[in-house]
Every structure is written in structure tokens, then in C-alpha cells.
Structure 1
Amino acid sequence: MREGLHVCGIAGYFGLEADLGLLERMGAAQRHRGPDDQGTHVDGPVGLAHQRLSIIDREGGRQPMATVDGRFVLAYNGEVYNYRALREELEADSRTFLTQSDTEVVLQAYAAWGPQAFERFNGMFAIAVWDRDEQTLTLARDQFGIKPVHLSRISEEHGGPDAWLFSSEIKPILASGRHEPAPDERAIYRYLRHRVHDDGVQTFFAGIERLLPGEMATMSSRGLERRLYSTLQQDLSAARPPATGAGPETVAAFRDGLAESISLRLRSDVPVGTSLSGGLDSSAIAVGIDRLLTEDDASAKAVGHRQQTFSAVFTGYRNDEERWVDDAVAACSGPVESHRIRPTSTEMFADLIDFVRTQEEPVVSTGPYAQYRTMQEASRHVTVMLDGQGADEMLAGYVPQTVSHLRDLMAHDRRAGIREVVASRDVLSTVVRARLRTRLRGGRSFGELLSPDFKAAHVDDTYAVGGATLRQRLVHDLFVASLPALLRYEDRNSMRFSVEGRVPFLDPQLVRAVFAMPDDAIIRDGWNKAVLRDAEQDILPASITRRRNKIGFTTPQNEWFREQREFIYQVLLSESFASRPYFNRVEVLNAFEQWLSGAGSLDSMAFWRILNVELWLREFIDPKPVSETAEPADSAESAESLEPPQPLEPPARVAAPTVGATNQGKALDLVLPDGSVVRRHPVRTPLVTESDDLTSVVVDHVRAHLGVLGKGQVDSGPGAGVGFRRWYVFVSEKVVATTQRRSFYVWDIPVTRAARLLSRHVTRTPAGIGLGSPFTMQLAIDEVGLPRVLVAAAAGAVGRLFGRRGLFYTVAGGEVRAIDGPTEYSVPPANMSAKLGPKDPAAVAATLSAAIRQVLPEDLAATFCGTVVVDANDLGCNVLGTDAPTSVPRLERMFADNPLGQGTQQTPIALVLDDLRSVSDRRAGEVRRDGMPAKPPSPTRRPRVGHATKGSA
């Protein structure tokens, strides 16, 4: 007999007019869950969509499936392993069947027993069943929540007050066109601050919820009703086994129960493989399958003539488990084909966007990526994978569960508690040492990395772990704190590659049996998972059964983050990250630098959560471009990339003049306090690299724009015909410093403790300008020496006591004042680099002026006054060096409002026309009176930046 078992994707709506297009969009968004077949059903207010991944009887069990009388229609995702017994019971009750599929058993069971059928299913499932006569749509999720169901109420503008969408994944709801994606800020806060997610109905998407394990929802004209149908969680909480008494019969019962569960989950008409981490749980499943194979058990037929195992290993890293994988494979009597996947940090960061998209919501660490790659490799060989998910939650595989047990034991039997503490001392000492090390390092708490407003909005949102006793803690971890998140990772990673994941430890009968066992079957003599260790002690080697250092499916995250620090800095220094209302970007950057240097109390997990939220927001929440019609040049210039730019084009290919291309909101003309008028013509250029010759860059672009000057007057554009007495070339100090190789990526600046300390006491100003960053402070120390910086800091502190500002920069000098940090709105790599001021800017100005005069016609040469190297931004202007005879205050007033672009405009050169003889009514922009002071002190060596921006003057 061929059975129709298959894992799929379901989606649909309730309360809308018939809409096949909507169903097709939703189904297409999760087609990876069921690439083998698809189907839809529309009836009155209900639409059902089904994507099918066929595992057994690939021709049977097509969905949605209806009863013969048409009353009930089912869309079903999952497998009910005890369907044969249920079918026999239903047939004895005069129910007839047309197929051999478990789908029809599920449908007939609901038709016979209603929602009471759900509790009787042993398996993993997400169910949607439409009752035509009662006009109700019922959704249900299995007792452990192995298979997902999401739902969203549709706003009245998209369908009406009682309309709903549902789907296996979140993407179909987003693809429906009837739900506007928005972040749930409470979910983001709890994830960032408390490291929790998937512990309730809430998702990271506002207005989208999930069904809980063992929960059902009924939709009708009366609205939505949700309730738990399963008593499993309640029954486990109520279990009161004795503290001791586990013996050989307990071990035998567990061994038999696990073997039966594995056997049930091997049924398939497509190849079955095993996810093998090298830990106790997955190794127990691998040798369990091996035992069935060597005994020629019929249930292992789908495994084939040899078992295929799939493992992610990390050669050379501390958390590599390959030696334990070898031991587990060696423990198998039959043939094993062991597939080893060796992910690298480069591969992970290349896969990161797809991984974020796959998971749909942030994950607690990069660990699930190891499973993602394992499933990717498995999909090339098998369609079904078994793994050990759930054993840690039911058998106390985590240290916090041991701590809960010891506390409870000490409270009830102090002598037994002391014995258990002594037996667990090696495990506990690891935790104590880690916490002590964190305290000794000092540094920031995670809360400091969040924005004050975001923290204030959620100040009352706290988190406490449920359960005072071991059993309470285990139940909490099974249904709330731990397992729901792991099952989400498992479901998304496996279904991304159209692989079905099965979890033998999560058999309701097996879990009930474990909770009926004495406590010492779970923890005994300092060993957790005691009954599992005992059951496997003669099958697996002691290297696995007596192993203390649990690793599991993880990645070498600490090492990978150091290897890929450039990518992480790109994200943290991006304009989008700076605009988020959740983070204190300065503190995040400083804390990340501190972690890289081996200091501070935070770990890579903290920075992963920040990174994950940012990438998730980009992928699911940020508006996407309507089209990809941007000019290639603009696209290349705006991309945040570390790839080197193309070489500077020769003079013949310099872009045509762009008269009047001022920074947004700035005027072309400016009236100075003495009544004279100056006009600024920004000159747009490509990016500048350290290998460019600054003189050639400036001369070529000035020569290309001489036409706007005419013969001593503005020759074209707004205000043509206006004359001027003299003119200058203003050049941004950024491009000067770049060509002098005085710009450095922040990750290449080895920050000292002194720089880190001093930077925390500097007033932080907008846009990263100044020394309120350890990177820029380190450049200041390197440039003028630590003693001078310390004296300047002391002078600044004293000056503030007497109300005097700016003494720090007066003492530190212009070299320090000219240091700039990364600014998120700048063109890469300026958004990721810190730079020193230009060396000898007056000499640079003189050299440029001499070269410019050589290409000027006689009339313009007579009015050309020289070159001005400026450090300008929206706060003001500092002249760093010039060969012009004009006074520096007047030159600074000419640029007081900085008309040049600070970002992708790339206008680092300006032709400045001084003392216009008449002001045309046709000139562009608004003439305004200037009374702005000179630029205030600027806020924001190593391998240097390979290229830099010309983006601002």
C-alpha cells in the first residue's frame, strides 16, 4: 500500500470575494515549500491554496481535498504518522476512502470527530478545513508547533472588518497586496534587549500573528475565536513523578519509544537522510537508523542500501565537531555515506540576504546558517531529513535547566542538592568563569547601544524565564522559550530547499513517557539527558555519551565576525542604519571596535542581533525601488561597495559642465556682509583614488568648465551676462587627503585604550564629525602625539568651567581639527573611513594654481586669484590653505553655507566668482544675507583606504 504523505505549504483567505489571483500570488510566494504540485479552492468567502512536496504516493492525495458530499474541504501541510490506526478506526465506523493518503484520513477524521480529531494526531501538521454548511474556516497547528501557521486580519480598506489571510510562511501574506509591511517594535525591542523571539503569538511584523503549538482558530461571520485544543502542555506541567527511581526498565522503555518514533518517521517513497552534528541527540538518531537498516526493518526501506548523513564542520575553529561526527559514523554497523559541508565566513556573508529572507524573522545567532547549508547540500541527495531537535528541551540539555534543577533540589533536599552541585562543578564553573570574565572586562551593557527614545518607549517591557522547578522549566522551554524558535529555523531552512525535516524526539507519546519518568532519568550525578546516555552507552562511544562540551549546529561566529569586520562596518556605517530609531549608532560603533580589540563585556551575539535587525528591515520593511532605471553611473556611485572604482577618465571624457548644481536647499549666489555678491559653480567629478594625480584631476575639470566663465562674465545658464572681478578654485580637503594617502578604513585603525577612553569624553556632534569616535581620536594621537592630545583635553575641560569653548582644538592644532570620521550619507568609502587633514595644504594650493594658470586664456588668467583648500560642511567652512591674496575670513564667508553636495553629488571642486557687478533676476536660487560664523570644531595608520569620495568640499 502506498501512502500519500507530503509536507507542503498552505495559504488562503476568509471574508473576501472570490479572488484566484490573490491565491496564486500567495501560493507563488511559498512555492519552494511544494514545487511538485499546486491547487486552489474557492467557495463563498473562503479561498484555499496548496503547494505540495510529495514524499509518498506522489500521484495520490492532491489538495485541496473535499469529502464526497462536498461539505468539508481540507488544505493540509504535514504528516500524521498514526494515520493507519486512525483509518482502521474510521473504517470500522463505516467511513469509506478513495485514496491511500494520510490527507484523506485527516479529512475524514475531522468530518467524523470535528476539532477533537487534532489531539488524536501523532505528527506534525498545519491544517485549514472549510465547513461549507457551518460557513466556518478552522486552522490548527500540531501539539509542538513543528509546522507553522500565520494569520493576519485585513484592514477595512483592503477587504472588510472580518476578513483574514493565513499561510504557512509570512511571505505569502506580504505578497497578497492586502497587508502593508511594518515592524512590530515591541518584538524588535524584546529580541534586541532580552534575546527572545517566537515565544508567543507576536511576530516581527505588525499585524501578523502565529498560531501557538496545539492551538486552533475558527473564523466565521462572528469573527475569530482562538483556543488551545491540545492538553499536552497542561498534562506535562501536571506530571508529578518521583525524584528518584530510574532503572533498567526506564532505560528500556525510552530506548523502545525512541526506536518506534524513528521507525515511524522513516516512511517515505523518496530518499531519507540524517542530520548529524556529532552531538548525542543526532548521533542517537543515526545509530537508531543504522540498527533498523542492519536488521532489514521494512520501515528503513527509504534510507536505501546505506545511510546518508549530513554534517557542517569547521576545520581549524574551536567549535569544530568533525571528530565526534567521525565517532558517530564509526559506531554504525552498516554502510554510511557521510557528507561534510565546510562553510566559510565568506560564503555565509554572500548567502546572508537569502538566509535573512529564508528565515523571515531575525534569529538569535548565526548558528542556523549551519543548518541552512546542511539542508542545501542534503537537497542534492535526499528529500527527507531526520534530526535531533527537541531532545535538549525535554531532557535538560542546557545549563540553565541544570541550574533550575539544582535550585529546586537545594530547596527541598539540601544534602542531595550539594551532592549534585559537586557533581556538576565543571559545568557550573564554566558559567561562573564566563560571567566573571565579563564583569572584569567592564564596558558597555547592551542597553547603551539602543536609542534613548526606543528604550523609554519600552521601559516597562521586562522578561522573566518561566518555571521554578526543573519540570516547569522544561515545559516552558518546550512550548515557549526555546523550541518554538528552533522549530522555525528548522522549518524555514529545510523548506527553503524543498526538504522535509522530521524530528523523532518530538513524538507526543515519547515526551509523555519521559515526563512520567523520575527526575534522575533526566539529571543524575551531574549528567543531564541521563536516560538517553544510558540508552546509548553500549551503542555510541564514550566520547559522545560522556561528552560535556555541548556545541550542536553552530558556526564559529566570533572568528567569522572578525574575518568579515569590513562587511559589518559597512552595515553599521550605512545611511540606512544611521536612520533607524532603534540604535545609538555611535555607541554601537564604539562597542564593536572595543569587542574587536578583545575588550568590553559584549559578545558577537549582541552585534549579530543588531546586524540581523538591520538586514531584516532592508529586506522586508524598507520601500523597494519602483524600477531599476537609474543611470549606470548613478548606480555605481551610490552602491556601498569596497570594490575599487574605475580609473579616472581622460580629459576628453570629462563630464559636461553642470552650472548651478548646488546642494539641495542651497543657493547658487550669496550676498556677503559687505554687500558684494559671490557665485559658486559646483563641479561634479568621478570618485578619486589614492593613485590619482590631484593636479590632473583638478586641472582637467576646471578646464572643462571654463566655458561658463566666458570673457570675464557668466557665459551660460541662469544669470548669463553677469560680470565678476575675480575668481577662485575651491577644492575639498577630502580629495587632497585621499590623494596624499591620508584616509583609512576604520577597521584598519588599531585603536589604543587611550583613544577609546578619550573619545568617550568628547562632545559628539552630528554626522560623525569630530573626535567622539575611537577611530578619529586614534588618528589625532598618531598625528600630534598623546601628550599634546592630553594637554588639549585638559585645556578643554578647564575652558568649559569658565564658559569658553574650542580650547581643545586651539591647543591640539589645525591638524587635529581637520580630522574627519565616517559620515553615513557620503559616497563609499568615505562612509567607512576616517581621514587626516591634508598635508601642507598651502603648498598644495600653490601647486594647483600654477597648473591651472597654464591652461587659462589670458583674460581669465588675469582675474584668477588662486586655489583654496577648504574643509566645509553644513556647519561652516575652514580654509586650510590658500595661495590667494584675499583674506581668509572673506574666503570662509564665501563658503559659509557650503553649496557643495555632501553625498552622491560628488562635487569637490567649485569655481567661485567674486564681486559680481550686477545681480540678474534670472539667476538660480535665492540670494540671502550671510552672517554665519566660521566653521566650528570638526567631530567626525595603518593600511590606507584604497579609494575615497569627492563627495563634499
Structure 2
Amino acid sequence: MCGIVGLFDTRGKREFDRRLLERMNQIQAHRGPDEGELYTEPGVGLGHRRLSIMDVSSGQQPLFNEDGSVVVIFNGEIYNFQDLARELAAAGHIFRTHCDTEVIVHAWEEWGENCVDRFRGMFAFGLWDRNRELLFLARDRLGIKPLYYSLLKDGTFIFGSELKALLAHPDFLRELDPYAIEDYFGYGYIPEPKTIFRQAFKLPPAHTLKLHCGQNVPQLRQYWDIPFVPHEPLSMAEAQEELTIRLRESVKIHLMTEVPLGAFLSGGVDSSAVVAMMANLMKEPVNTCSISFGDPAFNESQYAQSVADRYHTSHNVEQVNHDDFDLIDKLASIYDEPFADSSAMPTYRVCELARKRVTVALSGDGGDENLAGYRRYRWHLYEDRMRSALPFGLCKPMFGLLGSLYPKADWAPKFLRAKSTFEALARDSVEGYFHGVSIVKDRMRQSLFSPSFNRSLQGYQAVEVLRMHAEKCPVQDALSRVQYLDMKTYLVGDILTKVDRASMAHALEVRVPLLDHKLVEWISGLPASFKLHGHEGKYVFKKALEPHLSNEILYRDKMGFAVPLASWFRGPLRERLNNALMGPVLSDTGLFNRTYISQMLDQHQSGRRDHSAPLWTLLMFESFLRNVLDMEQPRSRKEDRKVA
């Protein structure tokens, strides 16, 4: 795995400062501690940090074609590179290495921008073609690997694997985007293509970008989408057999490496399935890593141990301290923009643990989105059936009234907490789903934000992100539709971002066989009832795995990878939370209603309400302001760091 960075002059062929390119490249050294190389020519500068995985001795980048007219910098793995190399060699291309990177330059020569259709893997790369005077960027289909870019006022186009590379450029303006702030407090992360900064963007998954010399408007093209094309009719038994074959094949290609390899093992269905397949494919014991929690409500370590025992893995477990609070500011510097998934803390620790033993780790990420594993899918289908039973003109006022009258009962069992359900039923399907997944609900965001910031949004609401994707969704059944929405937003913006930054902070490559695009395509074509069967999510997956995993692993309630925020904020983090949220950093932004924040703190810490998720979202925003924007500086040095 690696880090890439680039500079491109859209207006001419200026000579770039090599020292600047080196700074931008070096700030991502954690992504590739083994080597760092630069390439410059008039109008172009490319940098690469390398974590050696394949062809360790001769896979250095930037890497060129035979005559040096095409050069590429690449982050990722192309698992079918050997097949492509044979095809390209037969077409007359000459290879000097045995790494997957070289396939890209020859594939570009042979197929042009359609080369991405041939790649199977996770990737983000930048390619310069001198003869065509063309810069070409690409990102993998599911967004496993990140890529950021910005067009500066002087016509310089910059890109990199992390936002911190762009922040290192002195001409990058650190103006915050108000729409991105609204999105962040809605979702807990900032969905593609926005970033927290007005001047920077994420290249969306399954997209390419090209720029010609003299052209200052990047051309974006989507080259793939989740098809949801139904298969020919097949029985449940046939689907189980085919799914097992395809899962095994995906895991097999993800084992390609020249360095120590292992897997995360949480004890959940997805990571256990990956480990089971690995154990059947590898001659030596699988290196597995787990973390445990002192709080039994969050601890799955005994289930991970049972899988490790069954498959005789070389298992390593470490306990995460309940007071691992020093990570709060560390996470802000890792993610470069506000990021409110608290499971980033244990994810960081399990990556740290894994890196002590391996350089590559396989994970089970993607199974819940792919195979309908989240409980919220079941609730959404239930709500959608109720919406369809009544005219929307009746649903909106009736359930809206019930939602406003029903008390908020965070302390009660879930079946008594009907307020949120009533509020969701008063909305259409997409808005209702957003209401269910949002961190800070619509009404709460309006109260949380200051009047002036609410005006700056000009009516924009975070739900518009889901509406945009819903309009492009290729399927209309309710389950597939929300799976599609999650794979376009939550999967890439939260899950994959979380794992990429946490792993690369430790120079660990994480691979996700459940997100192999061929497997994703096939699963998307299964009937919705094969995925969510009654109350059982991932039904066909679990049935297929019954010969490989115990019923205790397959059918117990999902726990997730969470931390006990509610008790932290009433106990050991109470003072720190109060100081951060009521301190000068948030206050000086002018974004927030301090009185409302004070009320939230009082309600939570008295035990009357559970505001742990919104409070954590605020805490991470405050940490971002301090650690990324240096907001504790005197105001005179913060003029270009305002909210636009």
C-alpha cells in the first residue's frame, strides 16, 4: 500500500518547486515508509511513498512505460495483474518488473481510459501521458482507496491520497464548506464528493478524472455501478453453493503477497467467514488479531477465540483500555476532516496490534451493506410497508403529530421508543431512512446551529445526498435501494475511510474480499428475500457458512465495534467534554448555539437523555478545529480559515 501526490499546471508548463512536492509527499510517509520517490518535468510533478508488498526489490514508483512517455503513481492492489500482464505482453508490451503497477501503464497504452474496466482490485492512481499532454486519475469501484484533489486559483491542480497532502500546499485555502458541515452533523462523516474544505474534493468511487494541458475544468466519468441485475431463477441451495465458491475465490486472490499476511477476527459473521476461507486455502496457520473490551456489553473476544480454536489460527488478543482518551486528538490528525465514528478508536488499536505481526491483513468489511446485515434495514422495510398502506397526504400530518406528542424515551426498551418511528413515518422513504441513520436529527441540527449559520445553508439539508443517489439507483425494491444508498455513502464515507486511515497510520495494508467487485455484482443480483429473510439479515450467507462456522457465531445478535460513549461522558470524560464544547474554540467559529449545547450536556450528564452520539460528533469537530486548523492561534493568523 502506498501514498501518492501530484501537481499539474493546467495553464502551461511551469517548473514546480521540488521542495514543495517533497513536503507534500513526505507528509504521507506513514502510508509508505519503505521508499519515497519524485518525478518532475515542466508542468508536472509526481510523488510516491511506498509500502512494499509485491515485487519488493524492483517495484519502485513513479513507474514508466518503455519509452518514458507514460508515468504512473499508484496506491492499491490489482489482483488480476498477472493475467493482464500476459495479455499485454502477447500484444507486444515489454515488462521490466513483476509488480502490478507496471500493468497500469501498458494497459493505458493498449486501452486508454477504458483500462480501468479491466482492473480487479482496490486502487487510486495518477497517470501522466506526455504525448497526449493528459493527466488521468482513477479510483476503484467501491472506493476502498482514497483520492483527493483541488484546483488552486493560479491554475495548479493538486491531488493526493490524504487531505493532509493538499493542506501542505501554501496556496490551498482552508475555507470550510457550510454544506459539508451540515452533512457532517447529519451523517457523522462527509460524504463524497465533498470534503470539509470548499476548495477540495474526493474523487468518487468508480470514477475517472482527466485534465488536458490548457484545460482548467476536470472531466469526471463514472465507469461502473452496482448493477442489481437479477440472476436466472436459482434455488436457495444453489445460491448458497455458488456464494461459497465465489467467496472462496475472492479470498484466494486477496492472499497475493510477498510479505507477512493475516486477518482481523472480531468474532462476527463476516470476519469469521474470511478467516474460515483463509484457513482452508493456506498451508500455514492464519495470523489472526482481535481486541477485547473490559465492558462485557462490547466484548466479542470469546467468539473470536472460538473461531481461532476451530481453525487453529495463530491468534493474538489485546485489551483496549476503557480510558483510551488520548486517541481523540490523534484521530483528528489522522482523518484530516471531522469524523465521528467512535469505532475508529478500537479500529486504530487493532491495526496497531496487527502491524506487530503482519504487513497485510484481510477484513470482513462490506458484508452488512452487501448482504443486508444491518438491523435498520428490517426497520426500514417495516416503515415502508406502513407508508404504502396509507396515502402520504395522511401519513405526514398523522405521524407528524404523533411524533411531536410522543415523549423521547432514551431509557426505555426499543419497542417503547416510538417517537423516532413516528417521525420517520411522517417522511417519504428516502427522508425516513435518513432520519433513521442520521447522527444529529434535523430539528436538533437547526437548534444546534447558530441563526447565522442556518441562514448560510440557504435551505440545504444533508438528506439531499441520499436523494441524489436515490435518483440514480438502478433498482426500486425497498431493500436493494437502501443497500445502494449505504454503499454510496456510509460504506465509502465511514467504514472504508475509517479502516484506510487507521491502517495506513501504522503502514498496514487492509484488504476487503467481500468487496471484490465481481462478488458484489453477483450478490446484488440475488433476490432481496435471500438477503433479508424474515428477521434474519445475511440469510443466504449464513446458510452457506453453516458447514464452516457454528450457529453461535452465525445467529447470535450483532454487537458491532463500539465504545461506551454514554458512560464515558457521564464519568471519566465529563470534564474534558464540558471544557471542549463550552470552550472558546467552538464558540469562536460562530457556528453553534452555546445555550443549546449547554442544555445537551446537562440532559445527558443528568441521565435524562442519551446525547452521546451528537456530543461525540461535536467533540470530534472541536478536535479537528484545534489539531488540523490550529484554531487556538490568534485571530489574525486565521483569516483564511473561516467558514465561507
Query: Common fold, TM-score beyond 0.5?
Result: yes
Q: Is 1:611 equivalent to 2:619 in the alignment?
A: yes
Match of residue 70 from structure 2: 72
Q: Is 1:339 equivalent to 2:316 in the alignment?
A: yes
Deviation, 1:196, is: 5.0
Query: Structure 1 residues 430 and 101, CA, compared in 2 at 3 Å: closer, same or farther?
Result: farther
Query: Structure 1 residues 430 and 88, CA, compared in 2 at 3 Å: closer, same or farther?
Result: farther
Selected match of 1:149 from 138, 147, 150 = 147
2-side partners of 1:376 and 1:106: how far apart? Answer: 31
Counterpart secondary structure, 2:623: helix
Deviation, 1:436, is: 4.6
Query: Structure 1 residues 552 and 561, CA, compared in 2 at 3 Å: closer, same or farther?
Result: same
Selected match of 2:416 from 410, 433, 449 = 433
Counterpart residue type for residue 608 of structure 1: W
Contact 1:317 1:556 in 2 (8 A): no
What do the CA deviations read for 1:239-293 (whole angstroms, capped 9, x no partner)?
2458x85421111111111111111111111111211222111111111111223
Query: Structure 1 residues 100 and 206, CA, compared in 2 at 3 Å: closer, same or farther?
Result: same
2-side partners of 1:306 and 1:431: how far apart? Answer: 42
Match of residue 325 from structure 1: 304
Match of residue 511 from structure 2: 502
Selected match of 2:112 from 111, 114, 120 = 114
Deviation, 1:120, is: 1.1
Selected match of 1:309 from 278, 284, 288 = 288
1-side partners of 2:329 and 2:156: how far apart? Answer: 32
What do the CA deviations read for 1:650-673 (whole angstroms, capped 9, x no partner)?
xxxxxxxxxxxxxxxxxxxxxxxx
What do the CA deviations read for 1:309-335 (whole angstroms, capped 9, x no partner)?
222221234222123222322332xx3
Counterpart residue type for residue 9 of structure 1: G
Q: Is 1:185 equivalent to 2:178 in the alignment?
A: yes
Correspondences of 1:328-477 after superposition (within 5 Å): 328-332=307-311, 335-347=312-324, 349-406=325-382, 431-436=414-419, 445-458=444-457, 460-464=459-463, 465-466=466-467, 467=470, 469-477=478-486
What do the CA deviations read for 1:710-756 (whole angstroms, capped 9, x no partner)?
xxxxxxxxxxxxxxxxxxxxxxxxxxxxxxxxxxxxxxxxxxxxxxx
Selected match of 1:35 from 26, 33, 36 = 33
2-side partners of 1:195 and 1:163: how far apart? Answer: 32
Counterpart residue type for residue 311 of structure 1: S
Query: Structure 1 residues 531 and 461, CA, compared in 2 at 3 Å: closer, same or farther?
Result: same
Contact 1:478 1:484 in 2 (8 A): no
Selected match of 1:535 from 544, 547, 557 = 544
Contact 1:279 1:324 in 2 (8 A): yes
Q: Is 1:212 equivalent to 2:204 in the alignment?
A: yes
Contact 1:557 1:604 in 2 (8 A): yes
Correspondences of 1:542-621 after superposition (within 5 Å): 542-547=551-556, 549-562=557-570, 563-600=572-609, 602-621=610-629
Query: Structure 1 residues 312 and 228, CA, compared in 2 at 3 Å: closer, same or farther?
Result: farther
1-side partners of 2:253 and 2:555: how far apart? Answer: 28
Contact 1:217 1:224 in 2 (8 A): no
Counterpart residue type for residue 36 of structure 1: D
Question: Which of the pair has the greater relative contact order for Cα pairs under 8 Å at 6+ separation?
Answer: 2
Counterpart residue type for residue 566 of structure 2: N
1-side partners of 2:492 and 2:159: how far apart? Answer: 22
Deviation, 1:506, is: 0.6
Counterpart residue type for residue 367 of structure 1: S
Match of residue 137 from structure 1: 135
What do the CA deviations read for 1:370-417 (whole angstroms, capped 9, x no partner)?
101111111111111111111111111122322444566789999xxx
Counterpart secondary structure, 1:260: helix
Match of residue 402 from structure 2: none
Q: Is 1:279 equivalent to 2:271 in the alignment?
A: no
Deviation, 1:499, is: 0.3
Counterpart residue type for residue 416 of structure 2: R
Query: Structure 1 residues 551 and 561, CA, compared in 2 at 3 Å: closer, same or farther?
Result: same
Match of residue 867 from structure 1: none
Contact 2:178 2:457 in 1 (8 A): no
Match of residue 261 from structure 1: 250
Q: Is 1:172 equivalent to 2:161 in the alignment?
A: no
Counterpart secondary structure, 1:124: strand
Selected match of 1:203 from 162, 173, 195 = 195
Counterpart residue type for residue 342 of structure 2: T
Match of residue 782 from structure 1: none
Query: Structure 1 residues 435 and 46, CA, compared in 2 at 3 Å: closer, same or farther?
Result: farther
1-side partners of 2:219 and 2:270: how far apart? Answer: 34
Query: Structure 1 residues 446 and 435, CA, compared in 2 at 3 Å: closer, same or farther?
Result: farther
TM-score using structure 1 length: 0.58
What do the CA deviations read for 1:610-655 (whole angstroms, capped 9, x no partner)?
11111101112235769xxxxxxxxxxxxxxxxxxxxxxxxxxxxx
2-side partners of 1:86 and 1:501: how far apart? Answer: 23
Query: Structure 1 residues 346 and 54, CA, compared in 2 at 3 Å: closer, same or farther?
Result: same
Correspondences of 1:631-642 after superposition (within 5 Å): none
Deviation, 1:308, is: 2.0
1-side partners of 2:230 and 2:190: how far apart? Answer: 28
Contact 1:278 1:322 in 2 (8 A): yes
Contact 1:327 1:541 in 2 (8 A): no
Correspondences of 1:16-31 after superposition (within 5 Å): 16-31=14-29
1-side partners of 2:562 and 2:306: how far apart? Answer: 19
How many percent identity over aligned positions? 30
Counterpart secondary structure, 2:51: strand
1-side partners of 2:389 and 2:77: how far apart? Answer: 44
Contact 1:196 1:481 in 2 (8 A): no
Contact 1:394 1:474 in 2 (8 A): yes
Deviation, 1:435, is: 4.2
Counterpart residue type for residue 217 of structure 1: L
Query: Structure 1 residues 561 and 186, CA, compared in 2 at 3 Å: closer, same or farther?
Result: same
Higher helix share: 2
Counterpart secondary structure, 2:526: coil
Correspondences of 1:864-903 after superposition (within 5 Å): none
Match of residue 124 from structure 1: 122
Counterpart secondary structure, 1:232: coil
2-side partners of 1:84 and 1:449: how far apart? Answer: 54
What do the CA deviations read for 1:550-589 (whole angstroms, capped 9, x no partner)?
2222222222223211111121232223222121122212
2-side partners of 1:150 and 1:480: how far apart? Answer: 16
Correspondences of 1:823-862 after superposition (within 5 Å): none
1-side partners of 2:422 and 2:302: how far apart? Answer: 34
Counterpart secondary structure, 2:293: coil
Query: Structure 1 residues 432 and 195, CA, compared in 2 at 3 Å: closer, same or farther?
Result: farther
Counterpart secondary structure, 1:274: strand
Correspondences of 1:806-821 after superposition (within 5 Å): none
Counterpart residue type for residue 8 of structure 1: C
What do the CA deviations read for 1:747-799 (whole angstroms, capped 9, x no partner)?
xxxxxxxxxxxxxxxxxxxxxxxxxxxxxxxxxxxxxxxxxxxxxxxxxxxxx
Contact 2:298 2:561 in 1 (8 A): no
Query: Structure 1 residues 79 and 449, CA, compared in 2 at 3 Å: closer, same or farther?
Result: same
What do the CA deviations read for 1:117-136 (whole angstroms, capped 9, x no partner)?
11110100111110101111
Query: Unpaired runs of 5+ in structure 1?
Result: 1-6, 297-304, 415-428, 627-953
Counterpart secondary structure, 1:223: coil
2-side partners of 1:574 and 1:413: how far apart? Answer: 49
Deviation, 1:365, is: 2.6
Higher-Rg member (1/2): 1
Query: Structure 1 residues 115 and 437, CA, compared in 2 at 3 Å: closer, same or farther?
Result: closer
2-side partners of 1:256 and 1:227: how far apart? Answer: 36
Contact 1:115 1:229 in 2 (8 A): no
2-side partners of 1:245 and 1:519: how far apart? Answer: 13
Deviation, 1:88, is: 1.5
Query: Structure 1 residues 621 and 206, CA, compared in 2 at 3 Å: closer, same or farther?
Result: farther
Q: Is 1:520 equivalent to 2:529 in the alignment?
A: yes
